[in-house]
A and B are shown apart, each in its own frame.
Chain A
Amino acid sequence: MSIVTVQLGQCGNQIGFEVFDALLRDSQSSHGLCCKRENEAYQASCKERFFSEEENGVPIARAVLVDMEPKVINQTLSKAAQSGRWKYGQHACFCQKQGSGNNWAYGYSVHGPRHEESIMNLIRKEVEKCDSFSGFFIIMSMAGGTGSGIGAFVTQNLQDQYSNSLKMNQIIWPYGTGEVIVQNYNSILTLSHLYRSSDALLVHENDAVHKICAKLMNIKQISFSDINQVLAHQLGSVFQPTYSAESSFHYRRNPLEGFKDPALYTSWLEPVNAFNVWKTQRAFSKYEKSAVLVSNSQFLVKPLDMIVGKAWNMFASKAYIHQYTKFGIEEEDFLDSFTSLEQVVASYCNL
């Protein structure tokens, strides 16, 4: 069962590269503690999921790259090709020249509709290449303009055109003290739109990953590359082929199905339904043992609340709103977003 990845914006493309790299490296390294047959099954499962084969044996990532500036995409493509171990498809990227100016409205209302057909065509070609298609994995950030705006637009389109497929959005939560002034606006608009059209939102906070780099890995000068690699490692272990419940000889067919149960340990849900465990024989990436926890919990309430609060303060003083109304995002849209996010916060608080 194959997943098609859509990498959007600078953040999405950089992280996407690291994820594919980590996945392939893990699958190709043979694990000492497992038998040969196990290793081969693991490798085959992983490759089938994220890569397709080319004639000369170099796996091609099942990905579509989208950005409104050429620089990052070109870097990503060349890094992959240089590694020699895998690469992106030749025509798998869509690129423009002028950028989105960190403006969600520009990404959503201008770039999105303008390039909708080309982007959806690329995605469709990737889907058709899959023998058995299981869903989409969309990597984007919330704070910028391309990843967030176009990401929201594309996710909505995918919901319309592939309504029976599962979609998971990987969202990068910006630093609390981020550099983009309107990042809070971009964030709330993104979240409220994605909440309606996506099936699962997997969140990585820059602040949290930064702390991991600093405290656990003792990196002095933390660069985005370090952060991305940690992120990719986490994501890679999430996507490891795991045994399905039925048999321990077949890897779970659809990796996205696991997330679909929001793992809520609450009063109204039995723990047996709330907690799902998937096992695999080998640990990720040369570790002897590894475990990964994906949780849908109240952890996100505080950061979400903070962002909504800051955005609201800005909105109350109408700061920078004209930049959005210029491109068709009206004040009502902002208010709608606030309402939905307040509902989300309330429902999480009331768990």
Chain B
Amino acid sequence: MRGRRVGAAGARAIAGVSRSLPSDHSPRSSGRAKFDRPDDSAPWQLLLPRALPIPAGKRLASIALGKAALPALCFARANPRAALPAAGSVGWLLRAEDLCPRQMLPDPSGPLGDEMTVWGQCDALASLGPPAPHMETEGPVDVRHVQWLMGKLRFRWRQLVSSQQEQCALLSKIHLYTHGCHSDQSLGHLSVTEAEMLRDPEGGQQLLRTLEQENRRLEAVLAWRRTELVFWQWMDTVLGTCAPEAPAAASQPTFLPWVPECGDGELELVVRELQTLEEELREAAERRRVAWEAKARGCGRGPEWSATRRASQETVEKELGALQRRWEQDSGPAQAHGPHRLVRREDGAAGDRDLRAAELIRTLRSQEACLEAMLRQLQGQCRQELARVAGALPGLIWIPPPGR
């Protein structure tokens, strides 16, 4: 095996990565599988995005690699007799971004019925944000298509509502029927998950096994994080010993030439071009800004301008006032965030960290009112715009469709 030996830390790193793969794939068997059956690239698709957050020292922003590239580097050394598959397909693009451990986990095994996450108020609204009026108009949009889409949206919405109602009815039944079954007196009844586990203990065991597996993979990710640097240092040595062989590796044209040929000369050229571009952009932006300022100062007079300014000031003040009122309302009881569980209680007693459903409903209703007001405002704007457009064309009669 050429190149430096992996060393204990490097071995730990590689082991960490491999443990983070789904349990039925081991790198060695996948490697062999890869070389035997070029189509069986699934394990490598898993490995690559995880294994290649480029460390800070190597700012190769995007590398396009053939499918066989890096795994071949990793494991060809271990198995020199393995034949590399012919490259030909376009590879993946890898960006220098951080590995998020959550990306490595499988999807949770289905939503848990009566558990939910409570968002902070500001979070929920902020996540909606002002609607960016950006439309990708790749040509004229047929209004009939839009109408059809609206109809489809309407019906999907209704389906959603009716399935949600069905779910609520079922939840209510479960809570009612299991009253008195829970060992925890303050809860009183079972949740959907608990009822399901009682009904199907095998399923519960399966869930437990999945959770344990996820835990193991999380730990593996953490281990990888700790030893990442060592791994890359080892990779460095591998690549270093690889370079002088480039002319001899005529049978592997896809990956080898890429990395070393980013010679210094080319890099410098690119850097210089970037700097000039940046300079030009900065100048252009400055010119625009100056022009705009002049224009804005110019039209800073006149009755129209002051009227508009007054109107926008009023809107801002109104919104600010509304926001402040909302904050004051909610700063009273301490809002607990995070996962919560739905409990039905006859006596209405609540603990410190408990949220009453009624309060939550009230909050949601006020948010709904805000959003509806926003919607009405936007609709009014649309109507005005349409009227303006229609009015500009003489002889055009605008008959709005029957409203719903």
Contacts and interface: CB of A to CB of B under 8 A. Distances in A.
Interface string B86-108: 00000000000000000000000
Contact of A196 (B142, B145, B159, B402): B402
Could you tell me the dominant secondary structure of chain A's interface residues? loop
A269 interface: yes
Interface of A: 1, 131-135, 164-166, 195-196, 199, 253-254, 257, 260-262, 264, 266-269, 273, 339-340, 343, 347, 351
B162 A339 contact: no
Contacts of A131: 166, 169
Interface in B151-207: 151-152, 155, 157-159, 161-163, 165-166, 169
Top-4 shortest CB links A-B = A260-B155, A132-B166, A268-B142, A164-B161
Contacts of A199: 155
A261 B401 contact: no
B152 A133 contact: no
A164 B162 contact: yes
A199 B403 CA distance: 13
A135 B165 CA distance: 13
Given A166-B155, A268-B144, A132 B162 contact: yes
Given A195-B402, A262-B148, A262-B151, A253 B163 contact: yes
B162 A134 contact: yes
B399 interface: yes
A261 B152 contact: yes
B134 interface: no
B404 interface: yes
30 contacts: A1-B162, A131-B169, A132-B163, A132-B165, A133-B162, A133-B165, A135-B162, A164-B157, A164-B158, A164-B162, A165-B158, A165-B162, A166-B159, A166-B162, A196-B402, A196-B404, A253-B163, A254-B162, A260-B152, A260-B155, A261-B151, A264-B148, A266-B144, A268-B144, A268-B145, A269-B145, A269-B148, A340-B402, A343-B399, A343-B401
Contacts of B163: 132, 253
B166 to A, nearest CB: 4
Nearest to B143: A268
A164 B162 CA distance: 7
A194 to B, nearest CB: 11
A253 B167 CA distance: 13
Nearest to B155: A260
A134 B166 CA distance: 9
A254 B165 contact: no
Nearest to A340: B402
Contacts of B166: 1, 131-133
A166 B163 CA distance: 12
A78 to B, nearest CB: 34
Nearest to A192: B402
Contacts of B404: 196
Contacts of A351: 144
Given A132-B165, A132-B166, A133-B165, A166 B158 contact: yes
B155 A347 contact: no
A260 B148 contact: no
A268 to B, nearest CB: 4
Nearest to A133: B162
A347 to B, nearest CB: 7
A261 B158 CA distance: 13
A199 B151 CA distance: 9
A347 B144 contact: yes
Given A166-B155, A261-B151, 13 more contacts: A132-B162, A132-B163, A134-B162, A164-B157, A166-B159, A166-B162, A196-B403, A199-B155, A260-B151, A262-B151, A268-B148, A269-B144, A343-B401
Contacts of B155: 166, 199, 257, 260-261
A262 B157 CA distance: 16
Nearest to A131: B169
B169 to A, nearest CB: 7
A257 B159 contact: yes
Max chain A C-beta neighbours (<10 A), residue from B155, B158, B159, B161:
B158
Max chain A C-beta neighbours (<10 A), residue from B145, B162, B163:
B162
A132 B170 CA distance: 9
A298 to B, nearest CB: 14
A347 B399 CA distance: 13
B198 to A, nearest CB: 22
B379 to A, nearest CB: 18
Nearest to B401: A343
B372 to A, nearest CB: 14
Contacts of B402: 195-196, 340
Contacts of B151: 260-262
Interface string B305-344: 0000000000000000000000000000000000000000
Contacts of B148: 261-262, 264, 268-269, 273
Max chain B C-beta neighbours (<10 A), residue from A260, A340, A347:
A260
Nearest to B141: A268
B399 to A, nearest CB: 7
Nearest to B161: A164
Contacts of B162: 1, 132-135, 164-166, 254
B110 to A, nearest CB: 14
